[in-house]
Homo-oligomer: A and B are copies of this chain.
Amino acid sequence: MPQKAIICTVDVVLLCLRGTVLNVALWRRERAPFEGSPALPGGYIHPEEDVDTLDAASRMLREKTGIASPYLEQLGTFSGASRDPRGWSISIAYYALLPAELIEQEPAPGLVLQAVEQLKGLPFDHKDIVQAAVQRVRNKSSYSSLPVYLCGEQFTLPRLQAVYEAVLGEPINKVSFRRKMEELDMLEAVEGAMETGRANRPAQLYRLKHEFQQCLSVSPRSLTAAAG
Q: Contact at A224–B228, with CB atoms within 8 Å?
A: no
Q: Contact at A228–B221, with CB atoms within 8 Å?
A: no
Q: Contact at A92–B77, with CB atoms within 8 Å?
A: yes
- CB neighbours (8 Å) of A88 from chain B are 45, 47
Minimal Cβ-Cβ distance residue in B for A142: B220
Q: Say yes or no for A81: interface residue by CB 8 A criterion.
A: yes
Instruction: Please classify the interface of chain A as helix (H, G, I), strand (E, B), loop, or mixed, using the class held by over half of its residues.
Output: loop
1/0 contact string of A200-228 vs chain B (CB within 8 Å):
00000000000000000011111011111
Q: Say yes or no for A8: interface residue by CB 8 A criterion.
A: yes
| Copies of this protein in the complex | 2
Q: Say yes or no for A154: interface residue by CB 8 A criterion.
A: no
Contact pick for A44, options B3, B53, B224, CB 8 Å: B3
- CB neighbours (8 Å) of A74 from chain B are 76-77
Q: Contact at B3–A5, with CB atoms within 8 Å?
A: yes
Q: Say yes or no for A198: interface residue by CB 8 A criterion.
A: no
What's the interface size class on A, roughly? 35 or more
Given A77-B53, A80-B52: A45 in contact with B6 (beta carbons within 8 A): yes
| Interface positions of A from 11 to 61, Cβ below 8 Å from B | 44-48, 51-53
Q: Say yes or no for A79: interface residue by CB 8 A criterion.
A: yes
Q: Give the docked Cα–Cα distance between A143 and B43 (Å).
A: 36
Which of A's residues lie within 8 Å of B, judged by CB?
2-8, 44-48, 51-53, 74, 76-77, 79-81, 87-88, 90, 92, 142, 218-222, 224-228
Known: A47-B81, A218-B228, A221-B221. 9 other contacts (CB 8 A): A3-B8, A6-B45, A8-B90, A47-B88, A53-B90, A74-B76, A77-B92, A90-B90, A220-B222
